[in-house]
């Protein structure tokens, strides 16, 4: 669990032992861990440097574990400081790059091949975002679309602004409405647009990742990473234009009757897709839609949309 913070698995194993039993000696740890005495001493030294363990006064030497919540928070803060220093160092290293090479086309584009490599590169771009992440979302996906993206919660917890524009077909996937609602509750700004031409993610308006090919079957198997260039400027402009014409995914008042139904209908989903999202039959969708239209005093769905807006449902 702590490897991401620079704590090797064998060190974490000792830390867990000390969490369970307070005040163990190096010899006792060596016996329990089944490792060499020297290796255990080295692990204890690293754990002490990280602030995860400390020595008790007296003889023989005994170690105790620090509270996980405070110790891990301190490790996270230290790692964030290291990453910030590394980011600043990278900017300084840019000065060593000859001026005539800083904007060469081959250094403004990067091609990534392989589904796993594409997913990893997207995660790296996401994790490096400091201010704003812009996303055009449509199937297919390199990652499992039925599972939440833990990187999004990390971004939002760091105060990063996250704006997403979803194609209607993205809302048709099983569980999609639930995941998007959870993301919106966490702080994401989500809109839907009936014409999302491609998948796209833009980090801090300084780098973007998009499919390398328009072939839907190969869309997640290769990607193009674009850095500062006129192409990146055009992609940012595309997002801004779509954002202005897109509508919020969750326009419906959650306290209103049939709020999910109103949301899905306003997003432009077909009845079959609405039925899948709500976990009901198409016949039930037809019945509930008719009841909604009757309640709104509308003869057509278009009239129902206008009436819902006037009555504050949208």
Task: List per-residue pLDDT tens for the chain, 314 residues long.
Answer: 777 777 888 888 888 888 887 788 888 888 888 888 888 888 888 888 877 888 887 788 888 888 877 777 777 777 777 777 776 676 667 667 665 555 555 567 888 888 888 888 888 888 889 999 999 988 877 666 667 777 788 888 888 999 999 888 887 777 777 788 888 888 899 888 878 888 999 999 999 999 887 666 555 678 889 987 888 999 999 999 999 888 777 654 555 556 777 777 766 677 887 787 777 888 888 888 888 778 877 777 767 766 766 666 65
Q: How far apart are CA 243 and CA 66, in angstroms?
A: 48
Beta strands in the chain (DSSP E): 53-56, 62-65, 109-113, 132-137, 161-166, 189-192, 200-203, 207-211, 222-227, 247-248
Going along the chain from its start, the domains and CATH numbers come out as 3-68 (1.10.10.10), 108-248 (3.30.870.10), 259-310 (1.10.10.10)
pLDDT (tens digit, 9 = 90+) per residue, 137-154? 888 776 666 677 777 888
pLDDT (tens digit, 9 = 90+) per residue, 91-130? 667 667 665 555 555 567 888 888 888 888 888 888 889 9
Count of Cβ atoms closer than 10 Å to residue 85 Cβ:
10
Q: Give this prediction's pTM.
A: 0.55
- What pLDDT was estimated at residue 280? 83
Structure tokens, 273: 């897709």
Structure tokens, 216: 């839907």
- What pLDDT was estimated at residue 215? 65
Give the single-character DSSP code of 175.
T
Beta strands in 204-284 (DSSP E): 207-211, 222-227, 247-248
CB of 40 within 8 A of CB of 2?
A: no
């Amino acid at each position: 669990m702590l490897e991401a913070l620079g704590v090797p698995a064998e060190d974490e194993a000792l830390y867990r032992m000390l969490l369970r039993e307070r005040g163990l000696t190096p010899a006792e740890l060596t016996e329990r861990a089944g490792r060499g005495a020297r290796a255990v001493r080295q692990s204890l030294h690293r754990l002490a440097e990280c602030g995860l363990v400390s020595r008790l006064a007296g003889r023989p030497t005994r170690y105790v574990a620090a509270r996980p919540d405070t110790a891990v928070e301190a490790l996270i803060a230290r790692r964030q400081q290291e990453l910030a220093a590394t980011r600043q160092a990278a900017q300084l290293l840019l000065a060593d790059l000859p001026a005539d090479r800083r904007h060469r086309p081959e250094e403004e584009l990067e091609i990534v091949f392989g589904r796993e490599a594409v997913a990893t590169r997207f995660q790296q771009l996401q994790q490096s975002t400091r201010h704003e992440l812009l996303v055009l979302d449509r199937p297919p996906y390199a990652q499992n679309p039925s599972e939440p993206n833990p990187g999004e919660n990390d971004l939002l917890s760091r105060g990063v602004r996250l704006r997403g524009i979803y194609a209607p077909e993205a809302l048709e996937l099983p569980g999609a409405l639930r995941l998007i609602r959870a993301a919106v509750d966490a702080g994401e700004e989500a809109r839907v647009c009936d014409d999302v031409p491609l998948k796209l993610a833009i980090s801090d308006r300084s780098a973007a990742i998009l499919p390398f090919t328009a072939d839907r079957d190969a869309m997640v198997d290769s990607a193009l990473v674009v850095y500062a260039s006129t192409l990146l400027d055009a992609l940012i402009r595309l997002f801004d234009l779509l954002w202005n014409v897109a509508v919020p995914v969750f326009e419906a008042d959650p306290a209103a009757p049939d709020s999910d139904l109103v949301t899905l209908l306003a997003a432009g989903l077909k009845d079959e897709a609405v039925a899948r999202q709500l976990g009901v039959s198409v016949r039930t969708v037809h019945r509930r839609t008719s009841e909604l239209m009757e309640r709104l005093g509308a003869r057509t769905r278009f009239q129902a949309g206008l009436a819902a807006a006037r009555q504050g449902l949208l």
